[in-house]
């Protein structure tokens, strides 16, 4: 995808906005077997339904005094103590720590609830009392398409992520970074070198999302991380919302460059990178993803073959997406795809196969 083709997205009358709500898809037996094999589905001491029975909730404001979508959930004292113990144990399992050794060092400071969004999350604020440090994690309703997105993120990017799925419950760690929309508010403070680095990070993020069909990456659904490497700052972007993994039918939903919310990032690319630099940056990302496919080939093939057999979208969306991808790549290879999972597999082959072949690998 060439960036010069979409500068008018800022003024487009077409709305590239996925549905704000979608149905949650259950984790089927095949996917559950995969998650158990790779220790994603393990026994945990708390389920989503345990948190849902709160007494009342207080609306919360942000640091600037504006009302948010979050509410503080308040429980009866005895129930609160039981939940705290279970949440601490769950956090330690998530972080792969010893419950017996470290459980006494934590406390739950706050449980917040958000009705906005598909996963209807509870946000848990936990403190390490020895270090006086806070962390967060999330308890959400399990949704197969979201979990597929988390696992593809883990396998195909340099962003390992901890999560657990058990019965109707999804446990996710907090992903650290500056939300993209907040990062843009600091744009005036960026040097010319910073802007070049951010532009390259956005190009790589754009290609990564498109290759694996992760949608709805508007600026508030991903974070930016400045990283010091050899005396200079590089930037990386990573997704924090996986609800729209291969669900919607429009090709442009899977390209962050098309969202109006991201136009400032797009303009940063156009103003700071030449066409040759954009192409070079794209190839770096493709090579990186291809290398990870080779590294995790067996596990990735098990995951993709599971997605192929799963029902995680609607027929008309599948038909629309395969037609648009056929047109985009000037091919008919997507025509045989009957499910979103088969489209994901064909998309990975379409984007990355030649890079895999150069490295001596192949996506079957």
Nearest to 149 by CA among 310, 355, 330: 310
Interatomic CA distance for residues 10 and 4, integer angstroms: 12
Q: What is the pLDDT of residue 61?
A: 77
312 in a structural domain: yes
Number of domain units in the chain: 2
User: Is 17 within the bounds of a domain?
Assistant: no
Q: Same structural domain for residues 61 and 183? A: no
CB atoms within 10 A of CB 47: 17
Indicate whether 152 belongs to any domain.
no
Please check whether residue 153 lies inside any domain of the structure: no
290-314 pLDDT, tens digit each = 999 999 999 999 999 999 999 999 9
Same domain, residue pair 133 and 184: no
- What CA–CA distance (Å, rounded) separates 90 from 43? 9
User: What is the separation of C-alpha 128 from the centre of its chain, rounded to a whole number of angstroms?
Assistant: 26
Residue 3 — very low, low, confident or very high, per pLDDT cuts 50/70/90?
A: low
Instruction: Tell me what percent of the chain is helix, strand and coil, each rounded to the nearest 5.
Output: 50, 20, 30
Residues with Cβ within 8 Å of 185's Cβ and at least 6 positions away in sequence, in order, are none
Instruction: Give me the domain span that covers residue 272.
Output: 3-12+177-358
Kindly list the distances between the CA atom of residue 264 and the CA atoms of 40, 202, 225, 261, 300, in Å, as whole numbers in the listed order. Answer: 37, 11, 17, 8, 34
Domain presence at residue 309: yes
List the alpha helices (DSSP H) in 95-168. 99-102, 144-156
Pair (335, 238) in one structural domain: yes
Q: Is residue 138 domain-shared with residue 205, that is, in the same domain? A: no
- 302 and 349 co-located in one domain: yes
Query: Residue-wise over 266-291: b if at least 16 C-beta within 10 A, else e?
Result: bebbeebbeeeebeebbeebbebbbe
Closest listed residue to residue 224, CA positions, set 176, 279, 161? 176
The tens digit of pLDDT for each residue in 86-144 reads 999 999 999 885 555 555 689 999 999 998 777 789 999 999 988 889 999 999 999 99
Is the domain of 197 the same as that of 297? Answer: yes
Q: Tell me the pLDDT tens digit for each residue of 350-364.
A: 999 999 888 877 776
């Amino acid at each position: 995808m060439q960036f010069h083709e979409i500068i008018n997205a800022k003024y487009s009358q077409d709305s590239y906005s996925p549905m704000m709500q979608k149905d949650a898809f259950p984790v089927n037996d095949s996917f559950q077997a995969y998650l158990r094999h790779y220790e994603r589905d393990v026994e945990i001491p708390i389920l989503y339904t345990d948190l849902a029975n709160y007494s009342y909730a207080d609306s919360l404001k942000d640091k600037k005094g504006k009302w948010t979508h979050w509410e503080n959930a308040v429980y009866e004292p005895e129930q609160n103590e039981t939940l705290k113990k279970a949440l601490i144990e769950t956090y330690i399992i998530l972080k792969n720590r010893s419950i017996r050794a470290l459980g006494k060092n934590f406390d739950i400071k706050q449980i917040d609830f958000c009705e906005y969004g598909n996963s209807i999350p509870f946000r848990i604020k936990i403190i390490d009392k020895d270090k006086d440090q806070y962390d967060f994690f999330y308890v959400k309703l399990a949704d197969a398409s979201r979990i597929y997105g988390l696992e593809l993120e883990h396998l195909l990017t340099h962003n390992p992520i901890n999560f657990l799925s058990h019965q109707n419950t999804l446990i996710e760690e907090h992903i650290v970074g500056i939300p993209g929309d907040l990062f843009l508010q600091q744009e005036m403070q960026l040097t010319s070198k910073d802007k070049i680095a951010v532009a390259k990070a956005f190009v790589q993020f754009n290609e990564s999302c498109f290759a694996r069909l992760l949608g709805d990456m508007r600026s508030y659904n991903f974070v930016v991380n400045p990283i010091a490497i050899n005396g200079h700052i590089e930037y990386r972007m990573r997704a924090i919302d996986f609800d729209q993994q291969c669900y919607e039918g429009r090709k442009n939903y899977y390209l962050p460059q098309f969202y109006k919310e991201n136009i400032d990032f797009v303009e940063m690319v156009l103003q700071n990178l030449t066409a040759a630099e954009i192409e070079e940056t794209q190839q770096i990302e493709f090579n990186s993803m291809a290398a990870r496919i080779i590294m995790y080939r067996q596990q990735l093939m098990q995951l993709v073959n599971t997605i192929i057999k799963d029902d995680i979208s609607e027929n008309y969306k599948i038909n629309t997406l395969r037609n648009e991808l056929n047109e985009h790549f000037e091919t008919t290879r997507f025509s045989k795809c009957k499910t979103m999972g088969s489209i994901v597999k064909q998309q990975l082959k379409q984007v990355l196969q030649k890079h895999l072949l150069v490295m001596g690998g192949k996506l079957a």
